[in-house]
Structure 1
Amino acid sequence: MLENDQQKKYDIPVSFRYDPFFKNRETFLDYSCLNISETIDHEPFYYDMLVLQSQQEKPWESPNKYVPLLFEKWKQRVPKINNAFAKRKINAETNELMIHCISLFIISLYWSNNSSVKSLNIEDANILKNKIKPINVEERLLFIIKNYTKFHSFSQLKQLFIEHEKAFYKKAAIDKLKNR
């Protein structure tokens, strides 16, 4: 069923049309027939873009359920990227994988703060308003996006994920204690 001519398409919102995420694309496909894990594999910003078009499903309203899924997807992809950099065999597939992983990080950053991603323009995205976030996340993320083909960006992304995951689970533990 996926990616055929009959499948419904939506316009990518202007606020999401930033390189390297959506170069040469103006639409995204309807993946409503898939579960959230499969949908994120195909189109990481699917739910965030669709909510701007009145989509009902809002995974950021249940961060304890969905953010760990994003962390797991990241961890599944790390060995492949690590291997490509170790062998110095960076190709289009590796670059796409890096873009996907950067997308996973951005989504995890917003969803963990009960918010959807509203823009991929990092400088205008109000990342600093998020309570759960790594230190200097905006500057670090800008560097990673501009240099996603470089090993140092991959290293920085790994560090951001580690810091963010710790902050996320710390907040979850505190919330759990408060609700006792």
Structure 2
Amino acid sequence: MEKSLQKLEIPESFRQAPFYKDRQVIEAALISEEAVFQLPFLYDLCYHANPHTLSFWPWSKKENYFHEYWMKQRESIRELFHKREQKKAEFPMLLSVSVFIDQLFWSTGRPVDSLTDQRLLQGIQLLPFAPLNIEERLVYLLRQPDRFLSYIQLDELEQEFTKRHSAYQKRRQKKY
């Protein structure tokens, strides 16, 4: 599932801090399994630019992408905080938060459609498996990704999401 893009325009609804506030275009991008973890919301942006770019989108699967990603990144980010290198931890934390947001939406079989505070938080509030107080916790993560407390919060959100989503899937399977 690899495809190369020469230019990808970022919709106004995705030009939000802390991700693409001052950026209008991604000059070149490679859409691949790894790319989802290198550019925030790459698949969502590609889908909104042209839903026919790919024949298969990651939200069509039932995988917990974030769990796998976080298990690989968690220790290296923790180590940066341990060394008091908050500025170096900021970008990996932002990538991790973006993958977490993706996972929240992708778990419902749909892409993220906007990063504006109101639309993003409204979409997350509707999730039947969203962690408790997700709105406040996510706002904190987005405003202060270079804090160790944000790292702890994201780790807790990952654990809560994994448990709640698993329980939700089991309940749905019993119904059908």
TM-score normalized by the length of structure 2: 0.85
Distance 1:82 1:30 in 2: 28
Give SS of 2:85's match: coil
Among 43, 46, 51, the residue aligned to 1:47? 43
What runs of 5+ residues in structure 1 fail to find an aligned partner?
A: 1-5
Letter in 2 for 1:108: Q
Aligned position for 1:96: 91
| Residue deviations 1:8-57 (CA, integer Å, cap 9, x gap) | 1110111111111124422223424x3xx212122241111122122233
Among 141, 164, 167, the residue aligned to 1:167? 164
Aligned position for 1:85: 81
Letter in 2 for 1:96: F
2:69 paired with 1:69: no
Aligned position for 1:155: 152
2:11 paired with 1:13: yes
Aligned position for 2:133: 136
Is the 1:148–1:154 Cα contact (8 Å) retained in structure 2?
A: yes
2:103 paired with 1:108: yes
Give SS of 2:171's match: helix
Give SS of 1:19's match: coil
What runs of 5+ residues in structure 2 fail to find an aligned partner?
A: none
Give SS of 1:148's match: coil
Aligned position for 1:25: 23
Is the 2:16–2:116 Cα contact (8 Å) retained in structure 1?
A: yes
Is the 1:84–1:90 Cα contact (8 Å) retained in structure 2?
A: yes
TM-score normalized by the length of structure 1: 0.84
Is the 2:37–2:99 Cα contact (8 Å) retained in structure 1?
A: no
Letter in 1 for 2:8: Y
